[in-house]
Structure 1
Amino acid sequence: MPAFVVFTREETLDQSELDTYSARAGSSFEGRDVKFLAAYGTLETLEGPPVEGAVVLQFDTMDAARDWYGSPAYQSAARHRFKGASYRAFIVDGMA
């Protein structure tokens, strides 16, 4: 069953840290089966506080999504995201 990783950027704190994150995060996907379904495109807030941007990634399974998120390659990049902005992130199972 597919799983989706969803990131919502709530507030930018340091653009230079986000630029570093963007430059480093891409290599964390090497050798992984992942689809980028949305990445900072036009968005419309329907409920709750507005967000600055959103990313939706599709992995084959929940375990594959967890493995990518917890990988040293991604966590090395993510530390810059943590400094660069306030985000919410979660993994959700898809439907078979």
Structure 2
Amino acid sequence: MTAYAIAHLKNTAANADVVDYIARIQGTMDPFQGRFLAHGPKVEVIEGEWPGTVVLLEFPDADAARAWYASPEYQEILPLRLRHIDGDIILFDGVPPGYDATITAERMRANLG
């Protein structure tokens, strides 16, 4: 099942380390078939608060995403970002093909008692 990683990044000012990190990150993702779906767009907040920007990555599955994050190649460049940009990163599975939220609601309703 396709897996995604979302990074909510704050204080994203560019500097030499951050530019180096960005220049090198794709090469760390390629062996794990990772790709960017969003990379630092201006966000429109319609509920709550969201200081900063977002990065959305896609991997073939959660194992590939975990392997990428733990890889020596990514761990080598990670400090370039961590020294300058605060953030939160989450990893999660997508939904299977044909997913229908109404079926999920029916199951949830049945479990309500």
Distance 2:57 2:80 in 1: 19
Structure 2, unaligned runs of 5 or more: 97-113
Q: Give the match for residue 26 of structure 2.
A: 26
Q: Give the match for residue 90 of structure 2.
A: 90
TM-score (norm 2): 0.74
Runs (4+) off by over 3 Å:
none
Rg larger for:
2
One-letter identity of the residue aligned with 1:26: Q
Kindly, what percent of the aligned residue pairs are identical?
29
3-state SS of paired residue (1:90): strand
Distance 2:65 2:42 in 1: 25
TM-score (norm 1): 0.86
Distance 2:14 2:83 in 1: 7
* Count, aligned residues: 96
Structure 1, unaligned runs of 5 or more: none
Distance 1:47 1:11 in 2: 21
One-letter identity of the residue aligned with 2:95: M
The higher-RCO structure (CA 8 Å, 6+ apart) is 1
**Residues 86 and 94 of structure 1, relative CA distance in 2, 3 Å threshold:** same
**Greater strand proportion:** 1
**Residues 75 and 50 of structure 1, relative CA distance in 2, 3 Å threshold:** same
